[in-house]
Structure 1
Amino acid sequence: MKHIKAIVFDFDGLILDTETTDYKAWQAMYRAYGVELPLSMWLPIIGDATQDFSIDQHLAELVGKPINRVELRKRQRALHLEMLKDAVPMPGVEDYIHTAKRLGIRIGVASGSRRSWVVDRLNRLGLADHFETVVCRDDVGGKAKPDPAAYLAAVEHLGTRADQSIALEDSPPGVKAAKSAGLFCVAVPGPMTKNHSFHEADMQLDSLADIPVQELLESISKA
């Protein structure tokens, strides 16, 4: 019997679908130069800091000339933020947050993104104050998933143990990070990761809206 005391949420793709908009914004940058960013090249790098892929260099190689990296990223980020202006949390996320708090389950975020990005988005969604801890890559020495550092730190900050905690993840590198940290991991693929393999996850859902958090906790406690 597992007595779950904490739930740790991933951010990008799990709380908010930033992955689809990130790709669309980069695709717009590529098309401005008359070239395409193949989805097949984008999908493998989602949530994985170990992938050796420089999007700036790739675009420069396609167009055959140097590109102002700073200006390119500035324009891409501005477009990405515009696309996210009216974005809402993924289905089921808010119910999980509110119900977990009502049940006395401690909740946090473990993200491979930078703190400024995650906290600003959480504030805009009105969710930041609900989490007891938010751990990002710059909080753990720049270590991003699949490194388990963010999950280890989140569990420590929540004052519980990994074997008493659930991770909610949307990408295989995130699942690997959670499992390496010792958490029970529920994979909830987003639109960009739905065709990935999640064989390392303990459980997989199509959406958090598919099963109430109480039922999930009961199911895990019997595992």
Structure 2
Amino acid sequence: MKLSAALCLVSIRLAAATVQGFDISDYQPSVNFAAAYSSGARFVIIKATEGTSYISPDFSSQYTGATKAGFIRGGYHFAHPDKSSGSAQATYFLAHGGGWSDDGITLPGMLDIEYNPNGATCYGLSASAMVSWVQSFVNQYHTKTGRYPMIYTTNGWWSECTGDSTAFSTTCPLVLASYNSAIGTIPGGWPYQTIWQNSDSYTYGGDSDIFNGALTNLKKLATG
């Protein structure tokens, strides 16, 4: 019994391994990459594009800064499902920083799909139309890179705007925003979150992210 309990405790500790990281939007230009890396952070996700007409003015310099500091890094795209197709937006993202290469330091691109900053609930789309839009983005990204993109969302938005679709739970890693002491409900049939955005503030810039696994697992995510 004592041996079994000890093994169980070891298993729990291994399962609880995490890696600190962060993400940066276009309104968060000030980042201290060197200090973040020294503190233990090992990955960063940087905003690249929105829709089919906007490129973050700081993306290139931030991506270069992250690379020089030694981070595993990647880009993300803020979706506007009411403006153009998922395929068109994936193509734009890929052309402006969202690509992937099997170099061990590049994360698959991330689709940021969440509350509409311009007001209309679920961008005016039905749940089935929203799922089709996301599928169009995912398919195009996968066709061009051989990788499935990560999907960033919240439990509330995903449940309301996709009808809690499970269509991506076995292909696209989940990046879940939940600013609480615990992860909370995981939507969409995903068995777990790959990354938890646990705060909208990080000491060295951007938002705080926690990778759900050890550094070796994070490196696997960057190698396909």
Q: Do both share a fold (TM > 0.5)? A: no
Tell me which protein shows more helix as a share of its residues.
1
